[in-house]
């Protein structure tokens, strides 16, 4: 048989056997996120294209090459969200959170979409656990370190053995502009020796030249830039304070002088966390501060609203942590009908319905060719704690045989008592 349809390139089905892993990641993450005071927010998976252009930057690769835009008949364009920060800031402003609380701490878990060239750990639909802390006058190094500590805590809890934290600072917006001018001066002399992409980056977004992977560009960068110059006092002090607090919390880090990140909205602290065993796509999470994004998206300039956040890639976490796959979560009971007569099946169906409504996880076979043997093997496959057996004798005596699949014992239970019996044995 030739398959007619398959998943789009760079996407994948998450099949039922893998769902317990995903549920485990999500519920563990929710627990940790709540313990740091973050509350869940759910935004649409698509937004106005202009929102992404405005926030991530016209010159960023995500906007230039990877936005998956929706074809609509109207003039206004929409695109699938490539990340969560822009949507959360849009929602923060639309719902006037700045007037409701001094600091809003959000988290989100969901799919993101980027039209990238797929490879190991790089997908077109992938999932992030993200966090954003936004509020007026909130540029505090304590918040930077809370965010970084939370990211490290989450990754360790999700099974990443030795996550490596790299940090850098771009300083304030003014400082960032100054760095861009200096970089242009220093790198300008070598412009013709940079790779074709970097010559383009030199014009569009000079910062991206710093994290070019090509050896020849790296050599040029290393010869002219030792560290990003933090020339204004507050930017430098902020970064020093962040490092001091990281040390206080015992969080190991490395300063990565060329870490600039691919999104335009970052200012001050930026960071990336890598894990082993992922090949070239080894960032399991990344984030940073955005001091001007809220204002750029319509926030009151006088309110001085800043934000900081990160996102972790769930697929990369699962690749790096390699948790063992629980093939099938156990069900409470499986109903085995001894006779193929429809009266038995109808009676069994009613019992199953009653048990499900009482909250038990129960299943039974509906196909015509169900032999007793195949029903038992299905019960085993589903890892049923009990099988409930209904045959002629049981029905005559208004009872059901309950078999404990773990110790192979069996006893008859009156039909009216099954619920209570299971309640007692399972709780």
Q: Can you give the binding site for ligand HAM, defined by CB under 6 A?
A: 83-85, 114, 116, 121-123, 126, 128, 130, 132, 283-288, 309-311, 313, 315-316
The pairing of strands 104-113 and 39-40 is parallel
The smaller minimum CB distance to ligand HAM, of residues 47 and 132, is found at: 132
What is the crossing angle of helices 141-157 and 19-35, to 10°? 150
Closest CA to 293 of 100, 59, 87: 87
The least distance separating ligand HAM from the CB of residue 84, rounded to whole angstroms, comes to 6
Residue nearest to ligand HAM according to CB distances in the complex: 313
Neighbouring CB atoms inside 10 A of 300's CB total: 13
The smaller minimum CB distance to ligand HAM, of residues 317 and 384, is found at: 317
The smaller minimum CB distance to ligand HAM, of residues 142 and 377, is found at: 142
Q: What is d(CA 360, CA 399) in angstroms, rounded to the nearest whole number?
A: 19
The smaller minimum CB distance to ligand HAM, of residues 175 and 269, is found at: 269
The least distance separating ligand HAM from the CB of residue 120, rounded to whole angstroms, comes to 10
List Cβ<8 Å contacts ≥24 apart for 399-406: 400/351, 405/379, 405/380
The least distance separating ligand HAM from the CB of residue 425, rounded to whole angstroms, comes to 44
The smaller minimum CB distance to ligand HAM, of residues 41 and 284, is found at: 284
Q: What is d(CA 150, CA 131) in angstroms, rounded to the nearest whole number?
A: 9
The least distance separating ligand HAM from the CB of residue 11, rounded to whole angstroms, comes to 10
CA atoms within 13 A on the CB side of 329: 11
Q: CA 408, 409, 412, 418 torsion: positive or negative?
A: negative
The least distance separating ligand HAM from the CB of residue 75, rounded to whole angstroms, comes to 28
The least distance separating ligand HAM from the CB of residue 287, rounded to whole angstroms, comes to 4
The smaller minimum CB distance to ligand HAM, of residues 133 and 365, is found at: 133
Q: What is d(CA 410, CA 392) in angstroms, rounded to the nearest whole number?
A: 17
The least distance separating ligand HAM from the CB of residue 267, rounded to whole angstroms, comes to 11
Q: What is d(CA 138, CA 119) in angstroms, rounded to the nearest whole number?
A: 38
The label of the residue with tokens 């936005």 reads 67
The smaller minimum CB distance to ligand HAM, of residues 155 and 399, is found at: 155
């Amino acid at each position: 048989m030739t398959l007619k349809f398959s998943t789009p390139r760079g996407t994948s089905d998450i099949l039922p056997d893998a769902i317990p892993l995903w549920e485990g990641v999500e519920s563990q993450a929710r627990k940790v996120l709540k313990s740091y005071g973050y509350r869940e927010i759910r935004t649409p998976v698509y937004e106005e294209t202009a929102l992404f252009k405005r926030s991530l930057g016209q010159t960023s690769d995500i906007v230039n090459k990877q936005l998956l835009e929706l074809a609509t008949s109207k003039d206004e364009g929409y695109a699938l969200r490539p990340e969560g920060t822009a949507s959360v800031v849009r929602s923060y402003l639309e719902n006037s959170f700045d007037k409701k609380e001094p600091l809003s701490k959000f988290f989100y878990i969901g799919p993101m979409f980027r039209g990238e060239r797929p490879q190991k750990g790089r997908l077109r639909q992938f999932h992030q656990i993200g966090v954003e802390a936004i509020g007026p006058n909130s540029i505090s190094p304590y918040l930077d370190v809370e965010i970084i500590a939370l990211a490290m805590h989450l990754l360790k809890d999700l099974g990443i053995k030795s996550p490596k934290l790299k940090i850098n600072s771009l300083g304030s917006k003014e400082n960032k502009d100054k760095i861009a001018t200096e970089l242009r001066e220093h790198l300008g002399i070598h412009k013709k020796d940079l790779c074709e992409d970097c010559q383009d980056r030199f014009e569009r977004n000079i910062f991206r030249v710093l994290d070019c992977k090509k050896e020849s560009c790296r050599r040029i960068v290393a010869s002219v830039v030792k560290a990003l110059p933090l020339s204004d006092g507050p930017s430098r002090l902020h970064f020093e304070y962040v490092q001091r607090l990281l040390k206080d919390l015992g969080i190991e880090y490395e300063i990565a002088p060329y870490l600039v990140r691919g999104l335009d909205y970052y200012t001050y602290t930026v960071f990336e966390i890598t894990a082993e065993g992922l090949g070239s796509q080894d960032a399991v999470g990344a984030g940073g501060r955005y001091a001007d994004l809220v204002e750029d998206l319509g926030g009151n300039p006088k309110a001085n609203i800043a934000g900081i956040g990160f996102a972790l890639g769930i697929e990369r976490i699962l690749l790096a942590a390699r948790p063992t796959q629980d093939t099938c979560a156990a069900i409470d009971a499986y109903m085995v009908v001894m006779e193929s007569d429809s009266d038995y099946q109808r009676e069994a169906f009613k019992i199953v319905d009653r048990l499900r409504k009482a909250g038990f996880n129960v299943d039974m076979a509906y196909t015509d060719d169900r032999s007793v043997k195949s029903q038992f093997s299905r019960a085993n496959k589903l890892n049923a704690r009990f099988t409930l057996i209904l045959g002629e004798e049981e029905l005559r005596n208004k009872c059901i045989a309950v078999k404990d699949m773990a110790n192979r014992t069996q006893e008859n239970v009156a039909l009216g008592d099954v619920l209570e019996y299971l309640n007692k044995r399972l709780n």
